[in-house]
Amino acid sequence: MIMAQGAPKHPYHLVDPSPWPALGAVGALLAALGGVAYMHPGMYGKGAEAFFKGIGWWGVIPGFLIIFATMWWWWRDVIAESRVYHTKVVQLGLRYGMILFIASEVLFFSAFFWAFFDASIYAGAPEMPVRTEATGGVWPPKGVTVLPPFDLPFMNTLILLLSGTTVTWAHHAILEGNQRDAVRGLLLTVILGAIFTGVQIFEYAVAPFGFKDNIYSSTFFLATGFHGFHVFVGTVFLIVCLFRAMKGHFKPDQHFGFEAAAWYWHFVDVVWLFLFFCIYWWGAGNAPIVGH
């Protein structure tokens, strides 16, 4: 990027050769092979079946260790590059990339909502006798006791909405060059995200149904569980931004790392609103509520 006389040659970031993509691919392959060996220990032959049964889930550990090490080293390099090479042109390209990533996440969650609505709306369809028999012709299926929507789920909704305001506070602080308030806003957001995750874990522990019980419980846990995973990922994302903010990495004109985290967090907020209204509230129907 830099010419011999020190003047910028172009505003683009040409990434240096890196070992991390190849190393990460090796880790992903080992983790996948370990997982397949655990679920289907006989696929490698009868002689190896006893060996893989003895290993169990430990077979995925080497792959995940390589993946986590790759994440640490690769993201460390990206953070270092962002402070030098993220020009206006590069930031614009990164914003387009983040927008496309969030669009793919929208489609990801659309599949779970589709499954839930398909099962609920056509629960008593006469042209689908197998489904009617499985659900009893009503939604939620007969015998299902649901969680009270205006108990823990509503509290988690308020927690997540509040976290959206604190991350916005941090964003405005960065734009104004106010490092102290940026750190405060990020710290509060991380705390609220951790509280949300803790409440959801407790909610799962007291849920009156299990993942394999019926179509209602399966779609419920898939949709809310993947959202919970996204909250965890977003919280880790924001923790990294918190430490970077404490070190003064973010400037009013150069803070895409935080901006991407904030976009992701707002996306998580919006998805939760749909989950609360569609699955916890509307999806509960007239089923009996646990504890009532």
pTM of the model: 0.87
Question: Quick one: pLDDT at residue 8?
Answer: 57
Average confidence (pLDDT) over 235-258: 94
Question: Around 25, how many Cα atoms within 13 Å sit in the side-chain half-sphere?
Answer: 5
Rounded Cα–Cα distance for residues 156 and 137 (Å): 31
Tens digit of each residue's pLDDT (9 = 90 or more) over 176-194: 999 999 999 999 999 999 9
Domains of the chain: 1-85 (1.10.287.70), 87-284 (1.20.120.80)
**Under DSSP, is residue 289 helix (H, G, I), strand (E, B) or coil?**
strand
Question: Quick one: pLDDT at residue 291?
Answer: 65
Rounded Cα–Cα distance for residues 131 and 151 (Å): 30
Q: Is 10 a residue whose pLDDT tops 50? A: yes
Average confidence (pLDDT) over 259-281: 96
Tens digit of each residue's pLDDT (9 = 90 or more) over 83-137: 888 888 999 999 999 999 999 999 999 999 999 998 888 876 676 666 666 777 7
Q: Is 210 a residue whose pLDDT tops 90? A: no
Query: Which one, of 154, 194, 187, 156, lies nearest residue 169 by Cα?
Result: 187
Rounded Cα–Cα distance for residues 69 and 120 (Å): 43
Share of the chain above pLDDT 90, in %: 62
Question: Quick one: pLDDT at residue 279?
Answer: 93
